Structure 1
Amino acid sequence: MTKKIFFLFFLLLTTPYILDAYCFGKNKIQTRSYDFKIVESQHFRIFFYSGGEELFKFAVPVLEEAYEEYKSVFGIDFDNKIPVIIYNSPKHFQETNVIPQLIEEGVGGFTEIFKSRVVVPFTGSYREFRHVLRHELVHVFQYRIIMGKLRSSLITATVFRIPLWVMEGMAEYLSLGWSRDAESYIRDLAINNKLPSVEELGYYGGYIVYKEGQLIYKYVAENYGEEKIGEFFNILVFRRSLDEAIKKCFGITLEEFDKRFEEYVKKNYYPLFKEFDSPSGLKEITFHNKDASYMNVAPALSPDGSRVAFITDRSGRTNIVLYSAVSGRKLKTLVKGAKTPDFENLHMLRPGVNFSVDAKRIVFSAQSGSGDRIYIVSIENGRVEKSIKLDVDAIYTPVFSPSGKFIAFVGIKNSRSDIYIYDLESDTTIQLTND
């Protein structure tokens, strides 16, 4: 019992990928059986099933290359092979029995601490698949060091809290280096003077700990050397104090480290002020500070430009709403997500809403039951006019053709992401690409 409590406590502290997946009191439904096969490489045991053959072939060299990199960074090696479980789609991933808790759509992968099991889905992007594999493998090395230091005393685990930016920023930097998404995100925060200090960041969660944490390790690598990254983490786990670890590793206090990091940010981003003009002539129609929304995504303008439909989480659930593009006033809620089996997930992280040419309908994809469906919904009354189930593992960003007779969409099947055309009149599907 103690071991289970510690597992949940520690994982919730250190792994935001799984943070939102712990929803107790709900049942996880499996809609299919998985005929897992096992392939072993030098350092890994990879589990995959039918349709995932290309995924494991891709994963092996990615993981082995990352293993050699991280072995050098952390200064440790593994006696046993690391298990990696690959799912062909996010929906299949949500049905995993590696953990009993529900996994929300925003969870991109996770690492189970005691058995060092890495569990990842394929989302249609091999670039992202590579990133998540490398990111989660960093956690495997981190957990091995932490468990090695804390094995003698569970009491230490309840006292010592590693800041999330330490864990996730390191996983992002080692898996990606510096990236365009991090650059644009940090640039926006820096120019608007909203970047928290290193000490303040320790109290944050969410996306910012990944990206500012990534920047902190970039700063460390550029100013103290790449070798200091692994050294810092080992010292931090041993000393159980961020201030003490920084003092031992870099020879300065946390306060001085913070000051130098702030100067680094100013030198790199403040000159950009003169390169950007503040936008003008824009109308803001969502106000997250007032309506308690966190994500307002996938805006779609009606053909005449008078209305805009988008996905929002302001009600605590994901809904599709319709607004006036002229007045900014809400007109109606078209779709209420997560309330019925039809709209379990509206794909907030890869969303797509599209108007028909006559502006009488919208089309979008949503998770329903065993997989995704394409839905056509009436603008007038919000009723589902058509629900389309197709033989693919996932469906994203459907759009109407100008004639309204066809729908183009991105479909994932057998480890590949391709473009498909669905004929509304004949109820047939054509695969346009085979990449």
Structure 2
Amino acid sequence: MKKTTFAFFCLFCAAVLFGQYSYYYGKNKIVRQAFPWKYADTKNFRIYHYMDDPELLGRVAREAEKAYEKLSSLLNVTIEEKTPIIFYNKQTDLEQTNLFPGIIPPGSFEGFTEPVGKRVVIYGNRSSEDLGRLIIHELSHSFENAILYRNRSLGMFDFNRPPLWVMEGFAEFMTDYWDSFSLMTIIDNVLSDRIPEIQENGDIRADYGNNRTPYDFGHLMYDFFYEKFGKKGVRDLLYSQRRPALVSKRRTFLEQFNFVPKTFNYEFKKYARNRFKTFIGRENPEDYSFIIGPDFPFAYSFSHQVSPGGELLAVVTVNYRTYKIEIILVSLKDGKVIKNVTPGYKSTYDGIEIKFVPSDGRSFSW
């Protein structure tokens, strides 16, 4: 009876898990070519690839083993089986993968780690430094699964996963790298007193932020734990998220470190302000100049070009009324918008998708 109940429970979990992909049912993923897959083994990995560049293959292998040693040393964890790495040459190749059940929009992500098949999927037309950061980021999730679920395939049935900042913050922390835009965003939030706060359930609440907030502030929180508690603090933070059983309640890290939300938020804000204190005493640019930029309905400035005479500035911006990208001319004297050069410009065709209906026939005109 117990086995039957457990089987029905597993079927229910699988149905709920893959229900999110029902939108894509009947929509074929375009596979433009069949890749001539082969594999190469290292001490801890089996690398599936189709590249003809032995130097690149060696680079992937070295970066993977270096990442493994770094993670294993920090967490005191070893993964007994070889971890499969599925390596695509470029992003458009990755978009054709069947390892991800949904459609992958162009540029949506750089790789992923399966909680079930234990495979790390990445693409590699990038610099050596960027490749190394991507590998250790994705491999960090594999080690997280090993800690949280012991048997890593159980992750697919966990409907009460740790907060996103815990998982992605650790992966970003292990890269030892701050993207310039992410760091700028962090500094701006700290100086503006817009630091996300930890709630009773251990997740963050951010009144201001975007989809990068769990990644970037999660990264900063791991920096905080590392400086305050050392390597053991990072390990304890991850182990605090482990549960005795899938249906049991997950504890928050607050209990592990004898924090309550109020005391943690106080200590974390103090750490963040002290870390970026050199920016606090700087003078305001407005004391010596005035802001040249488009006012509402325009926002953001992506690119600039000053006219030969120095009176006008051409700016690529966003029109919030039409939600379109525009090119406008701005006066350098007072910042007023002189002219919208591209009214009605649309970004509809930036990423063209051609869809065929078989009943319409086999031909189309362009």
TM-score, length basis structure 1 = 0.64
Q: Is it true that 1:299 corresponds to 2:300 in the alignment?
A: no
CA contact (8 A) 2:84 2:118 kept: yes
Q: Percent identity?
A: 21
Alignment RMSD, CA only? 3.6
The match for 2:263 is 256
- Please report how far the alpha carbon of residue 237 of structure 1 lies from its aligned counterpart in structure 2 after TM superposition: 2.0
- Please report how far the alpha carbon of residue 269 of structure 1 lies from its aligned counterpart in structure 2 after TM superposition: 2.4
Within 2, Cα distance between the matches of 1:368 and 1:55? Answer: 34
Within 2, Cα distance between the matches of 1:297 and 1:222? Answer: 37
The match for 2:170 is 170
- Please report how far the alpha carbon of residue 285 of structure 1 lies from its aligned counterpart in structure 2 after TM superposition: 2.1
Within 2, Cα distance between the matches of 1:93 and 1:178? Answer: 25
The match for 1:282 is 291
Aligned length: 325
Aligned in 2, Cα 1:52/1:336: closer, same or farther, shift over 3 Å?
A: farther
Within 2, Cα distance between the matches of 1:313 and 1:28? Answer: 33
Within 1, Cα distance between the matches of 2:280 and 2:340? Answer: 35
Aligned in 2, Cα 1:44/1:316: closer, same or farther, shift over 3 Å?
A: farther
Within 2, Cα distance between the matches of 1:238 and 1:272? Answer: 41
Q: 2:148 aligns with which of 146, 151, 164?
A: 146
Which range moves more in the overlay, 260-269 or 192-201?
192-201
CA contact (8 A) 2:90 2:124 kept: yes
Alignment-mate amino acid for residue 119 of structure 1: V
Q: Is it true that 1:332 corresponds to 2:342 in the alignment?
A: yes
The match for 2:272 is 265
Aligned in 2, Cα 1:203/1:73: closer, same or farther, shift over 3 Å?
A: same
Within 2, Cα distance between the matches of 1:177 and 1:186? Answer: 14
CA contact (8 A) 2:88 2:124 kept: yes
Q: Is it true that 1:33 corresponds to 2:40 in the alignment?
A: no
- Please report how far the alpha carbon of residue 74 of structure 1 lies from its aligned counterpart in structure 2 after TM superposition: 3.0
SS at match of 1:33: coil
The match for 1:217 is 222
Q: Which has the higher contact order (CA 8 A, sep 6+)?
A: 1
Within 2, Cα distance between the matches of 1:247 and 1:58? Answer: 42
CA contact (8 A) 2:170 2:219 kept: yes
Alignment-mate amino acid for residue 58 of structure 1: R
- Please report how far the alpha carbon of residue 6 of structure 1 lies from its aligned counterpart in structure 2 after TM superposition: 5.8
1:86-105 maps to which residues of 2 (within 5 A)?
86-104=87-105, 105=107
Aligned in 2, Cα 1:4/1:176: closer, same or farther, shift over 3 Å?
A: farther
Within 2, Cα distance between the matches of 1:251 and 1:135? Answer: 29
The match for 2:5 is none
Alignment-mate amino acid for residue 247 of structure 1: E
TM-score, length basis structure 2 = 0.75
CA contact (8 A) 2:145 2:152 kept: no
**TM-superposition CA deviations, 1:113-138 (whole Å, max 9, x none):** 10111111224332221111100000
Within 1, Cα distance between the matches of 2:240 and 2:99? Answer: 31
Greater strand fraction, Structure 1 or Structure 2:
1
CA contact (8 A) 2:111 2:138 kept: yes
Alignment-mate amino acid for residue 129 of structure 2: R
CA contact (8 A) 1:344 1:368 kept: no
Q: Is it true that 1:230 corresponds to 2:235 in the alignment?
A: yes
1:99-118 maps to which residues of 2 (within 5 A)?
99-104=100-105, 105-118=107-120
- Please report how far the alpha carbon of residue 24 of structure 1 lies from its aligned counterpart in structure 2 after TM superposition: 3.0
Within 1, Cα distance between the matches of 2:77 and 2:125? Answer: 31
Aligned in 2, Cα 1:153/1:142: closer, same or farther, shift over 3 Å?
A: closer
Aligned in 2, Cα 1:66/1:154: closer, same or farther, shift over 3 Å?
A: closer
Within 1, Cα distance between the matches of 2:156 and 2:115? Answer: 14
- Please report how far the alpha carbon of residue 50 of structure 1 lies from its aligned counterpart in structure 2 after TM superposition: 3.1
Q: 1:308 aligns with which of 311, 314, 335?
A: 314
- Please report how far the alpha carbon of residue 53 of structure 1 lies from its aligned counterpart in structure 2 after TM superposition: 3.9
SS at match of 1:135: helix
The match for 1:406 is none
Alignment-mate amino acid for residue 259 of structure 1: Y
Unaligned stretches of 5+ in structure 2?
1-10, 356-366
Within 1, Cα distance between the matches of 2:173 and 2:103? Answer: 28
CA contact (8 A) 1:39 1:47 kept: yes
